[in-house]
Amino acid sequence: MPLRFVRVQVLVFALLWMVANAIAQGNPDRAYGRSMVVTQYGIVATSYVQASQAGARILEQGGSAIDAGIAANAVLGVAEPMMNGIGGDLFAIYWDAKTGKLYGLNASGWAPRGLTMEHLRSKGITQMPEFGIDTVTVPGAVDGWAKLHGRFGKLPWAQLFAPAIFHARTGYPVPEMIHGYWLSAAARLAADPESQRLYLPNGKAPELGQIFRNPELADTLSLIANQGRDAFYKGPIAQSILKTSAAFGGTMTAEDLGEFSADWVEPISTTYRDWKVYEIPPNGDGLAALEMLNIMEQSPPAPAGPLSTAELHNRIEAMKLAYADIKAFDGDPRFSTIPVPELLSKSFAAKRAKLIDPAHANCTVAPGALSGSDTTYLSVIDREGDILSLIQSNYDLFGSQITVRGRGFALQNRGALFSLDPQSPNALAGRKRPFHTIIPGFMERGTEHIGFGIMGGMNQPLAHAQFVSNVVDYHMNIQAALEEARFTVSGKLGCNIVIESRVPADTLHELGAMGHVLEVRKQYSTAMGRGQAVLDNAETKIHYGASDPRADGAAEAEGPPKP
């Protein structure tokens, strides 16, 4: 080979190496997939792209974060009917940037007055049913929307429902993840002819990309838009709910619906390292997320990272301790004294943390000694920096699996979470709110404020704690913190844990050797919940949005003001 040719080859190789090195330096690797949405205007982050777009358009029309959240939530009820809708409940945390005040709203409905343990015993029921009319509690979502809009809304109420009415009437192509959920719920829907007729066109779940229309829900939303919340609780929709309940032998009365009202509540909080984290107080289980963080805080973060054996073991064991306490002590504070201050005390967390064996999993965890599913979540930030953290749910897929005749929506089965143990703080009683799994989250440090949430039944507190730790301990941005591989609780309980396969194989092996029984799911499992988050930096006036790749959604930025 001629020497000149060899020199040319060497020169070409050197040039290619220099170009590749320059590209590598200018395009750094990262451990997460999506970028955050970054803007000086508003952002709406939901699990369905068109819902995010609807909320963003409301912001562009001059709406508040509350207005955008209601519009987006209404669209989600159309597009994710198995997850949420006007037949379900709602909780919200709202950050008012101008006043620096945080507000909480509990819009979870109570049991009908006649839904009691005595009533169930008269029917031969000895265990709280999972589905059916005796799991139906008063839906709180519509009154929650009304309370939020009455206090913080800017645009006319009726304007907020136009996107949802449009999608319900003209139809929408069923997206990927929602198609999967629909398929998994199809067999259950066959028990109710109305549910089967509405949600199983041609006798089966809609295909991926198939247009699904719900004109009856469009008419129902139009009534709410034009007549307000009373159309739902006292008007024609209420009458349809009562007729449906009576047809199934239910106990719901006009008074149960008409006398219901959502409550403004003071968020509860704890400090985790140098951040303050907030949740809604009981009857929700945000208390579990805060206690889990308090227990985790007793140990420094593992230097090897969030997916290391030491870190995951500590998180898993902290979760077990917190969940044991919540099961024993949580309920409706109007009926029982819930020991929130003691459960959130650092001294109680220190006692609980001493029970964690750093080398072995604990398969039987008892509650501490005191001295005394399925859901949708969205987060919104408007251009002023106000933040809405909102969660809304039917509980299980299509809730009770009972659809209100002629109205296009399913009733929730939140009452399934009541206990029939008279000694439980969550014992079934008329006009009592059940223990709730759905929780919106909020955290702040200095000029940074984050609205966040991650759905999925009892997954939620532990997912909140993992997200917070990812941000605080491992300095991730909100998108990376959402995307990071997670674990979640297993229905088998004990030492059984569900975990994503992105956790390193060595870590999975070491956790198994410690006694954890791991069910390894795919890289981005919906079992870990579907999260959203927004961040406001009050100093720079820049806003950030994130949306979980485990869902069909996106964080959508508001467009700039029109000239």
- What residue ranges do the domains of the chain occupy? 48-264+375-415, 268-372+438-534
Q: What residue has token string 């999260």?
A: 531
Kindly report which listed range (21-25, 26-30, 141-145, 320-324) carries the lowest average pLDDT score: 21-25
Quickly state the pLDDT bin for 21 (edges 50, 70, 90): low
User: Taking residues 56-74, what's their average pLDDT?
Assistant: 98
Helix, strand or coil for residue 266?
coil
Burial class (CB in 10 A: 0-12, 13-18, 19+), 26: exposed
Residue 26's pLDDT is what? 57
**Is the predicted pLDDT of residue 102 greater than 50, yes or no?**
yes
User: What's the mean pLDDT in 203-232?
Assistant: 97
**Where do the H-state alpha helices sit in 380-533?**
459-472, 478-483, 505-513
Residue 371 has pLDDT above 70, yes or no: no
Ranges of H-type helices in 190-332: 193-199, 215-227, 230-233, 236-247, 254-258, 286-296, 309-329
Q: What is the pTM of this model?
A: 0.93
Domain 268-372+438-534 has CATH 3.90.1170.50: no
pLDDT, one tens digit per residue, over 396-450 is: 999 999 999 999 999 999 999 999 999 898 999 999 999 998 999 999 999 999 9
Taking the C-alpha atoms of residue 555 and residue 548, their distance in angstroms, rounded to an integer, is 9
Q: Among the options 135, 375, 376, 526, which is catalytic?
A: 375
Instruction: Give yes or no for residue 22 having a pLDDT over 80.
Output: no
Q: Considering only 194-208, 321-335, 447-461, 521-535, which range has the smallest mean pLDDT?
A: 321-335
DSSP type of residue 201: G
pLDDT greater at residue 31 or residue 370: 31
Active site residue 309: no
Q: Is 63 helix (H, G, I), strand (E, B) or coil?
A: coil
Residue 8: pLDDT band by 50, 70, 90 thresholds?
very low
C-alpha distances in angstroms, 15 versus 8, 18, 246?
11, 5, 80
The DSSP string of 275-290 is EEEEEPPTTBSHHHHH
